[in-house]
Amino acid sequence: MIRVAAIGECMLELVRRDDASFTLGFGGDTLNTAIYLARAASARPDLSVDYVTALGNDPMSEEMLSAWRAEGVGTGCVARLAGRLPGLYLIRTDAEGERRFFYWRREAAVRSLFMSGETEALLASLGDYDLLYFSGITLAVLTPEARLDMLHALEAARQKGRRIAFDSNYRPALWPDAAAAREVMAAFLPVTSIALPTFDDERALHGDADPAATAARYAGAGVQEVVVKRGAEGCLVLADGNRHSVPAAVRRTPVDTTAAGDAFNAGYLAARLARAPPERAARAGAALAGAVIGHRGAIIPRDATPSLREFLE
């Protein structure tokens, strides 16, 4: 059995409708990837996916867990903290169709991840997984002490031969400033074996001139496999000393680009775990991302999710 764990935050999501009512859902970058990985696992019975986070003991947290289990995502590494709640964000869409996000997350249960007695034990379990996946958002919501403990756990996992995948997913609002984000993320690059950044994020954070500069910077930090996502332009893959430009799966006008990068990461990692070469894995990621942008919302209907069997066998 190949075991994968995604580490991060999932929040409750309120979306304001035209009639001024709200719909309640949930969302989170690493959770999106975990769900799409679990769907890919339907073609790989030897692949399991767990999510590592902290939630409250409230009814909304229970509903989230039930939804994840229904998707095939394991919840054995989800800490339940008494008296705490998940984070919350609200989405409002203006007359031009632009979305604005408002967050309530300072007291979210995930802020205690790897810090409380209930969650510290999760660190020891990380080395049991074949692949560990996290993002810049994961790092942003953790305390500095928890980040250091997580870094040590990832170092121990690498020493055991585990693979570590990272998506910078830079969100300026989560950091005091860009310099703080750069410093924290840089500390995790030496333990990263697969980097999956988005060029627009890297340009905003580092001022990179082009995707090749992004790939070279990650490689210079010791990351052996780098995939720079470029949206409609596809991606740039740098691995084993070779560089490939892989086009997007389909040229189309997107309905909603939410979670396209998260889905790409899932397709790519699923294919790599099946020992597909990096270029072919990038095509798997592109196929999944191409389907996601054709639907509204982060998680598209299960029957609209393309089979990745051709990339996994």
pLDDT of residue 252: 65
Among 19, 208, 262, 303, the active-site one is 262
pLDDT of residue 93: 64
User: Do 2 and 130 contact (CB within 8 A), yes or no?
Assistant: yes
Residue 167 resides in a domain: yes
Averaged in consecutive runs of 10 residues, what is the pLDDT profile of the chain (313 residues)? 96 81 88 95 86 95 96 95 91 63 88 86 93 98 96 97 97 95 98 98 97 97 97 93 88 76 96 94 94 84 85 72
Residue 199 resides in a domain: yes
Residue 231 resides in a domain: yes
CATH number of 189's domain: 3.40.1190.20
pLDDT of residue 239: 95
Q: Against a cut of 0.85, is the pTM above it?
A: yes
Residue 228 resides in a domain: yes
User: Which residues constitute the domain of residue 190?
Assistant: 2-8+29-55+109-306
Residue 17 resides in a domain: no
State the pairing for strand pair 88-93/11-16: parallel
Q: How far apart are CA 250 and CA 232, in angstroms?
A: 8
Sign of the dihedral defined by the CA atoms of residues 138, 205, 210, 240, in that order = negative
Known active-site residue 19:
no
Residue 279 resides in a domain: yes
52 closest CA partner among 106, 104, 152, 128? 128
Q: Which long-range contacts (CB under 8 A, 24 or more apart) does 45-48 make?
A: 46/1, 46/2, 47/1, 47/2, 47/4, 47/270, 47/273, 48/1, 48/2, 48/3, 48/4, 48/74
Q: Looking at the 3D structure of the chain, how many domains does it have?
A: 1
Based on the number of CB atoms within 10 Å of its own CB, is 134 exposed (0-12), middle (13-18) or buried (19 or more)?
buried
Residue 68 resides in a domain: no
Residue 262 resides in a domain: yes
Q: How far apart are CA 229 and CA 239, in angstroms?
A: 14
pLDDT of residue 4: 98
